Amino acid sequence: MKLVYDTHILLSRNLKKRFGEKIWFFLGMLQPALYLLLYMPLLKNVGNTSALPLERITQIFVPGMLIIMGISSLFVGFSFIPEIREGFITRLLVTPISRAAILLSFIITQVVVLFLQVIILLFIAFLLGLRSSFEAAFLSLILVALIGITMSSLSYTISIITRSEDALASIVNTLYLPIMLLSGIMLPISLAPDWLKSAARFNPFYYAVEASRALFLENYSAPVIAEGFGIMLLFAVISVWLVVKALRNMTS
């Protein structure tokens, strides 16, 4: 199938380039470890969490960390804009390569990197006392993949439209901070004042965080799990449609 073949060719190229940037790749892999080792221990002395064992704290903190790693895919456009500026994307567009394959190769590349980060984070978390089932970890991985697809597609869309790192930085930073703060990533929104709880309900990633926490608590019957997956799937479809449309407009 042409789409699969084209995607495979471009994916191989993108992965070689990403893994070839050894310093940036190492720092990306190191980031989740630093969050766990340097930030999570502080939670033992925060509010009601001081009475919780480390295992329970990891069940609260790690699911949020998985989501923030997916949301961080919003920054992937900074490596995509040089591809546009140097003419690589334009050259691809005048070849018989499938347009969908171009986008899929970049999106899958980011998801692969994201998976590696998640696996490292979960490994360290289990060493620190996290106890959960394989099913919970696997379903959380799927949820993070949906978020990675959503945010990377959105980042590529902004990159194609603006073609400027400055504009991308302004837009991404404007979106990233409220998304992170209103999703209960670091601490559960249940610890927040009522007005902040109400505001969080309008943040789709709040439901993803709550779904991830319910999974790690093995509360599979919680309605928020279906809500989190449903919302993230919808946003993934919309974001992919947007980036496809942006790429088509680029050729017109």
Whole-prediction pTM: 0.88
DSSP 138: H
pLDDT averaged over consecutive 10-residue blocks of the chain (252 residues)? 86 86 70 72 55 66 86 90 89 85 92 89 82 86 95 95 91 87 74 77 89 89 93 96 89 64
Query: Around Cβ 230, how many Cβ atoms within 10 Å?
Result: 12
Query: If you count DSSP H runs as helices and E runs as strands, how many of each does the chain have, helices first?
Result: 11, 0
Is 75 in contact with 170 (CB distance < 8 Å)?
no
> How far lies 135's CA from each of 72, 125, 130, 248, in Å?
24, 16, 14, 39
Q: Dihedral (C-alpha) 177, 180, 182, 183: value to the nearest 10 degrees?
A: 170
pLDDT of residue 24: 66
- pLDDT value of residue 187: 64
pLDDT of residue 53: 61
Residue 42 pLDDT: 62
| Closest residue by Cα to residue 204 from 132, 154, 137, 157 | 154
Identify whether the C-beta of residue 68 lies closer than 8 Å to the C-beta of residue 118.
no
Residue 61: which of 159, 152, 188 has the closest Cα? 188
| CB neighbours of residue 238 within 10 Å | 12
